[in-house]
Structure 1
């Protein structure tokens, strides 16, 4: 009887969650017909739902009156639940040859045989954590597309591009948090990069694009990077 009661309770909870998701979906479609929310799902936090809007992970309260944009972390183990959602998104193929490499910082290691394009925000913590993994790579050409999603990242991104040695300025900024000592007033590609990211439906940083067209978002290991070459 206890097992039956437990199963019944679990079934009731699951049905209730699905009902709430369906109710929220219907409410959003009724009140905001011009906004197209996809993949609405309950999160670990009671009364908060995740969804996809304009290629971005967002969060909604159960009333459908408020929307939250940002990263959700679980304090217990510091797990980034938003990154987990991003990783479950279907992989998207990019035409490598259409990328405007002239708008990226080019860094060559060794013979530069392997290639990798990365969209990065200098204040993105996962971009900073990606750096040690990139340092492990050998014989690679990196194309760093400055992609300042955060307002505070706009100025240093422009200053990096306007530096005499962009690769050196970028490494100092992303690895050592040393602000570039350069003007922001030069012909920079930042606006074009932001438009390109929107066109490519980038959902966050870092986003890595491989020559075979594979696109991956989030922190990945050097071994996983090499496996995609």
Structure 2
């Protein structure tokens, strides 16, 4: 039976759910589309309600292997005139959507975007021309509320600790959850993402007001996890 996008995006399906970020750094053998798709399938088979994927290539590979999967898609792109890198431009939004994403994640912080493109314009275009569901990756309560007011359906704490204004802070953004949940429209899905290193922390995020959580490095970040273990062991033997 084919599962519709509407069913995948229903609050009943997502509430209290785990979304796995299946990504790998440039140069890693884990970055192959077949490997990403296999990790995504394993995540879904074991209870994840969806996956978060980077690049049209990986979105397409997972959509082909897991046609019923809920896919949150993004494309990391770097430009010299901006520090925004998560689906920063209109052409990146279109590419993620065309590849098969159900939800498009984009940087919704107040930072300047490349080529002078404006967040308001991008959200309006994505909604009117594509009919896309949008996830705002934010770093603060203020930016989360602004993104929802502009039309984003999901708000995620993804960039807390990763922007110039929050670089001194460490995720997870537990302190953002309660004020966001209190002030966001009830229809807006609140997602805790970033720094969730255990099942206990994930449960704490749900208890704190998140509707769903995204976990990446702690589960699928083979490169970063192995490197961290090795660094720690080397310190122990010095």
| TM-score of the pair, normalised by structure 1 | 0.24
Structure with more of its chain in strand, by fraction: 1
* Rg larger in structure: 1
| TM-score of the pair, normalised by structure 2 | 0.23
